Structure 1
Amino acid sequence: MSEENMDHLLELTKQQKDFAATYLNEFDVERDKCIEQVLNWVKSNDDRHTRTDKFFIVRFLRSCKFDVDKAKLKLRKYHEQRAVSPEWFTNRDPFFPELQELLDLGIFLPLRQVDEEGRLIVIVRACVHDPKKHKLSDFLKVSMMLLDLAVRDHVSSSLYGIVAIHDMTGVQLGHALQITPTIISRLVDLWQSYPIRIRSIDYVNAPTHVNLVLNMFKQFMSKKLKERMHVHQGDGRMIIKKISMGVLPYELGGTEENYELLTRYWKKLAEDNQQWFFEDEKYKMKI
């Protein structure tokens, strides 16, 4: 989708407008002024190559509740992260064999329906890969590729946020050993630079020792993000209390598409967007 065809994504229903005004400080006239301020700031700084469609900019504004200065800072950090982490944000060709393997495993599965609150639900199958065979950098690269696709034109998630459910089925010591404090710090910085509002982070099918790794993550998180992290030793039934069965996949006790169907859908979508990924690599800080 070209930048000039994205403006329709700014059109909201009355319910969405009411929510945006109440919780995100978004009002039509002020919104347009804020977008213009950010665009003028982008044009006056030549140290980054930035998308300039209005929906892309408004995603940063919404994630910062229309604090223009905070949105500028997040926008800058976002492009900086993409420049300093080439192992995650370059060579994003979904047809590369190492990426095909991870796409076939279904490591990152955004659900195709939002929940009752309009939030995008993302299933992260963090332990389905073989840590002896698959590099963590490739795991994270594929995850970011699919996240980028999922939120690229997803109006609801830009307003109501995202719920990340980590299915820890199959966790091994090797998975934990892939995560170093340095990687954890970089990942948390990356999450906090993305134009998304993380509403909840839930871990299901999680053995007790997973808390050792999660405690390291918490050292780098904001107080608000820490409070939104929840660990469930069970099989996902606690999640059903928060999210309707009609949204969740079969493997988490729901009645919607299973992991296999979601995996096929997202793999094909990634392949269909090969050229978009090639073009997207240029949007980063100049270093």
Structure 2
Amino acid sequence: MEISKYKFVLDDHTKNYAKECLNEDESKYNRCIEEIQKWLKTQPQLHAKADVVNIVRFLRCGKFDLDRTKNRINEFYTLKGSTPEWYANRDPTLPQLQHLLDLGVFVPLLKKDPNGRLVVIIRAAIHDAKKNEQNDIFKISTMILELAVERDESISVYGIMAIIDLRGIGFGHVRQLTPGIIRKAVHSWQSCYPLRPKGFDFINAPSYINVVLNIFRQFMTTKLKKRVHVHGSDFSALYKTIPQDVLPEEYGGTNGKIQDLIDYWKTEVTNARDWFIEDEKYKAEL
């Protein structure tokens, strides 16, 4: 895609938000995109996508600072190259991935929060820890997230809120979350993906959960630590951030049933099989 063909297609409110919060301005697009594209030609080992929409996602995450943008692009494609357990064999028709889609381990909501942010529900203990590998769970989760970002440009502007549901968590689930996996997960959200995590709300959290969360916090920046909130079974504080009309009925909301969302994303991800297979080539050679 030629640089001149990039057009801001979102509404005026989003355009004003991007200008105020992300240092985004139409006068910057051509210059910044061209600079990143030229730089990518000097980094052939990254095998990064060089189309303007993808570059603008990274520019937004770096608030149009070129050095920050280059660093995040490098981190993202290096992560994809160094973590085959998440980024190789991403065929959504594989039985183990279809099973996780059926369970709904990672479910983006179709209605945004009042601040325009994508809300995802991560059901961290819905799977059988004896049968399902944690790496497959991260694999299907990143696949769903990347497809959502690919299809909705506003996510790169407003960011994402994550609700991590710990209902039913047991020792087997905790054992799967090794420090190495936790470090990679935090690194991917914090330093790699072209999106801005705006909050992590842990719900249905048992009393001992801080033992696990303290491992997460070890790898977080001070800024990200402040965005972590822990709730038990009382969601009243959560509703102040994410209103009930955004959430499905199973979480005290009024926005349909979570099974409908599970079915929707299973269909969308499965139908995008060719896209995922094509996307696998975009990763660094290490």
Q: TM-score, normalized by length of structure 1?
A: 0.95
CA offsets 1:31-65 (integer angstroms, 9 cap, x no match): 22111111111122211111122111111111111
Q: Distance in 2 between matches of 1:59 and 1:91?
A: 25
The code of the aligned residue for 1:63 comes to: C
Match of 1:24 in 2: 22
SS at match of 2:49: coil
Note if contact 1:38-1:57 (Cα within 8 Å) is conserved in structure 2: yes
Determine the structure 1 residue equivalent to 2:258: 259
> Within 1, Cα distance between the matches of 2:254 and 2:230?
23
Q: Deviations over 1:137-190 (max 9, x none)?
A: 101101001001111131221111100000111111111000111111121111
Shift of 1:196: 0.7
Partner of 2:270: 271
Q: Give how far 1:240 is off.
A: 1.4
Matched to 1:100, the amino acid is Q
**Which whole-Å CA distance do the structure 1 matches of 2:239 and 2:252 have between them?**
7
TM superposition shift of 1:9? 6.5
String of CA shifts for 1:219-240, please: whole Å, max 9, x gaps: 0111100000000012433221
1:228 maps to which residue?
227
Give the AA of the match of 1:105: L
Q: Structure 1 residue 22: deviation in Å? A: 0.9
> Is the partner of 1:203 in helix, strand or coil?
strand
Single out whichever of 171-180 and 9-18 deviates more from structure 2: 9-18
Give the distance between the partners of 2:184 and 2:277, measured in 1 at CA.
24
CA deviations on 1:209-259 (whole Å, 9 max, x unpaired) are 111111100001111000000000124332212122221111111111221
The separation in 2 between residues aligned to 1:244 and 1:165, in whole angstroms, is 13
Which is further off, 47-56 or 100-109?
Answer: 47-56
Instruction: Write the distance in 2 (CA, Å) between the matches of 1:175 and 1:275.
Output: 32
State the distance in 2 between where 1:80 and 1:105 align: 30
Q: 1:151 to 1:278 in 2, by over 3 A?
A: same
3-state SS of the aligned residue for 1:230? strand
| Contact map agreement 2:6 2:52 (CA 8 A) in 1 | no
- Count, aligned residues: 283
Gaps of 5+ in 2: none
Change (3 A) 1:24 1:44: same
Return structure 1 stretches of 4+ with deviation > 4 angstroms. Answer: none
Q: Is the 8 A contact 1:206 1:231 kept in 2?
A: yes
Is the 1:9–1:153 contact (alpha carbons within 8 Å) kept by the matching residues of 2?
no
C-alpha separation in 2, matches of 1:51 and 1:210:
39
- Does 1:248 find its partner at 2:271? no
Amino acid at match of 1:236: F
Q: Taking structure 2 as the reference length, what is the TM-score of the superposition?
A: 0.96
The answer to whether structure 1 residue 148 and structure 2 residue 175 are counterparts is no
2:261 is paired with a residue whose SS is helix
Residue number among 30, 49, 52 corresponding to 1:51 in the alignment: 49
Work out whether 1:169 is the aligned partner of 2:167: yes
Q: Match for residue 99 of structure 1?
A: 97
User: Is this contact kept in 2: 1:176–1:213, CA < 8 A?
Assistant: yes
Q: How many Å separate the matches in 2 of 1:246 and 1:53?
A: 36
1:68 offset after TM fit, Å? 0.7
- Is there any run of 5+ residues in structure 1 with no aligned partner, and where? none
CA distance 1:105–1:286, change in 2 (3 Å): same
